[in-house]
Structure 1
Amino acid sequence: MVSAPIFSGRQLPAQYKIGLSAILSLLCVGLLDEPNLSSLPQWELTLLILKEIFVGITIGLSAGILFYSVQMAGALLDFQIGFFMANLFDPTFETNTQLTGRLKNMLAILVMLSIDGHHLLIQGILASFDWISLTATIPSWMDGKVSTFILDFFKQMFMIGFMMAAPIIGTLFIVDVALGIISRTVPQMNIIAIAPPIKILIHFLIYILVLPSFFYLLKILFENMIDSIGSILKILGA
């Protein structure tokens, strides 16, 4: 509820998050077949609770890091077309984002809900108890594999975000070169006043053309997100 996409946003009231967490906890208790932990000393029980908090945050981040690539692609586009100073508050990530980034976030959330991606996150919570035992006080994530895996996530995030923004950025770069040539050959033309509306018009035209490829990249993004949850559980429970 703290780090996973959709669940961690401010669009969900805190009361709903607490209630959903309690319901998921009851479901997990009904599915587990673990020994009684009440006989453990207080310090060991506290350590186990902290371990479960770490596992939950790691599962949420493994899904959220790749989701941030959508927001990064929108920021790159808005910087290129001049919308970078127009910020909107994004309740999903609780940060200020640009116009195109907000639109891409809304589309990504709708696609994720349409393919039941939030159900897969809940299944990841239940599957975590199969891979990581409650009584394991020092699991194998102390050897640095988790940090290496998350760094690889960041690499994928930048790659997918750049792939989402590359067609429009490349087109607008050609437009900038053309406008620069026009300003040199026709100095009487006020390029400063003409360039912004031209770039915005071309941006929306290209955006309509490449929108199907955006959904294709979202499909790849969510496939990587699902695989990442399974991989991080294997690393934590190895």
Structure 2
Amino acid sequence: MLESLNYFPAFLLVLTRVTAFFVTLPLFSYRSVPSTFKVGLGFFFALVMSFSLELPLIEINGMFIMLVVKEMMVGLLIGLVAYMILTAIQIAGGFIDFQMGFAIANVIDPQTGVQSPIIGQFFYMFALLLLLSVNGHHLMLDGIFYSYELISITQAWLPLGDERVLEYVLKAVNMMFVIALQLAFPIVAILFLVDVALGIVARTVPQLNVFVVGLPLKIGVSFIAIIFSMTILFTLFYQLFELMLHTMRGLMELLGGL
């Protein structure tokens, strides 16, 4: 029993990283998930991991406080990068809403408590269900476990000043916008052609009120385009999940100094 207490500081470090992951990690960090569930899941997950890892003997001193801060930053940064990648879905929905005329009709996202576009929220719900159906949440939890192979518990610092880390994060943000454009491009392109057609009709038939006809026509065409492009969207969602997992691993390698 006394020998187990010697590993208690190391267990606290594991608990810090796991709970920091759950603060920003997609699907686990949402407001609809009760805080008691997050704390309980983090505690038992850290407890199981502490028996699977070779925990070092750590003394509680000034260095221990630095290790706690480091573990917290590791969890927050990697979870935040994963969340940023999935935000591409809502950005794509914002592009589509702007063309449809739904840009003014934002809704409150119950998961995050902020305003989000209607179509973006629709896509995001589909993406989360797809993530659960392909066991993506298990892969994210595996990422938490294998992060200790890349970032050691006893590592007292993070190379946040390294230009490779900043460049990697900027590339991830750039890829997020590229995927958002890929998601929105088919529907936005179709709506652009509808706008061109309405412009031609307004020129040839001046008696027709294009503003009255245009909005319901664009909404109807948008829903039809969304239905026929769902296969393409699901393929891009898969690519987005792969990018999210690769980005998490790449950031872990850079923070671990590899």
Shorter-chain TM range is: over 0.9
**1:136: which partner in 2?**
155
2:238 equivalent in structure 1? 219
Higher RCO structure (Cα 8 Å, ≥6 apart):
1
Distance in 1, matches of 2:139 and 2:106, equals 32
Amino acid across the alignment from 1:237: G
Equivalent residue letter for 2:57:
N
Q: Per-residue CA shift, 1:184-204, capped at 9, x if unaligned?
A: 221111111110011011111
TM-score by length of 1: 0.95
Name which of 47, 57, 76 aligns with 2:76. Answer: 57
Q: CA deviation at 1:40?
A: 4.4
Alignment identity in percent? 36
Aligned equivalents of 1:164, 1:183: Cα separation in 2? 30
Query: Deviation per CA, 1:5-46, whole angstroms, max 9, x where unpaired?
Result: 111111101111111111122122112213211x242x2111
Pick which of 192-201 and 124-133 moved more: 124-133
Contact 1:67–1:221 at 8 Å: present in 2 too? yes
Which residue of 187, 191, 202 maps to 1:183?
A: 202
Query: Partner letter of residue 214 of structure 1?
Result: L
Partner of 1:27: 48
- What is the root-mean-square deviation in Å for CA atoms of aligned residues? 1.3
Residue type at the aligned position of 2:167: T
* In 1, Cα distance between equivalents of 2:35 and 2:25: 14
Rounded to whole Å, the distance in 1 between the matches of 2:256 and 2:28 is 24
Offset, 1:141: 3.9
- Paired letter, 1:89: I
Choose from 163, 177, 192 the match for 2:182. Answer: 163
**1:162 is aligned with what amino acid?**
L
1:102 is matched by which residue type in structure 2?
Q
- The two structures have a TM-score, normalised by structure 2, of 0.88
Secondary structure of 2:229 counterpart: helix
Unaligned stretches of 5+ residues in structure 2? 1-21
Give the aligned partner of residue 193 of structure 1. 212
| Structure 2 Cα separation of the partners of residues 74 and 64 of structure 1 | 16
Dislocated runs of 4+, deviation >4 Å: none
Tell me what 1:103 maps to: 122
Identify which of 56, 59, 64 aligns with 1:45: 64
